[in-house]
Amino acid sequence: MPRAPPRLSSSTPPRCVATKEERQRVLDAYEAGDDWLTVARYNNVSRAAAYRLCKSGDPRPPPGGGARANCVKCTNEMVSALKDYLEEDCTLTLVQLHDKIMDRFQVDVSTSTISTKLCEKLIALNRFELAVYELDFPICIILTLN
């Protein structure tokens, strides 16, 4: 029985990354005042990479990946500070906790991250209601479960 020919992958081909030598040729042409865009085209360097290369003057490829500067993970020290804030005042909202963390650590942690970290530590944030009674206790706090 004849075998079917192997299927070709429909995904995009892998990106060709210019070597350090090819990038250096583009940089040398730029510094010599030659047509560096043509040199870039013939040396497997994209136009955007060639502009970036000539602007920086460094033939090494730019670093890839890594976390964004404004996305910082919540450290254990921050979680313990959150716990301390809640032990001092259990009526703080997530926005207020966010503001306290921002003031103390100068880190912008989202309210969803704060909620997740508190749930991981088994700290339940429930809604509090104030009820007025005519008995000996003027104010009674009733815990309602969500």
What CATH class does 76-144 carry?
mainly alpha
pLDDT at 133: 44
Tokens of residue 128, six digits: 């509090």
pTM of the model: 0.39
pLDDT at 59: 82
- The DSSP secondary structure of 25-78, one letter per residue, reads HHHHHHHHTS-HHHHHHHTT--HHHHHHHHHH---SPPP-----TT--PPPHHH
Alpha-carbon dihedral sign for residues 90, 94, 96, 99: positive
pLDDT at 20: 86
pLDDT at 25: 92
Distance CA 96, CA 129 (A): 18
Enumerate the domain spans of the chain: 20-56, 76-144
Tokens of residue 101, six digits: 């963390």
**Residue 129, beta-bridge partner list:** 142
In the predicted model, what is the mean pLDDT of the chain?
Answer: 76
Q: What is the pLDDT along the chain (146 residues), one digit of tens a residue?
A: 556 555 555 565 556 678 888 889 999 999 999 999 999 999 888 898 899 888 888 888 777 666 555 555 788 899 889 988 988 888 888 999 999 999 999 888 888 888 888 887 654 445 554 444 444 444 444 444 44
- Per the CB < 8 A criterion, the answer to whether 40 and 16 are in contact is no
Tokens of residue 96, six digits: 């207020």
Distance CA 80, CA 75 (A): 9
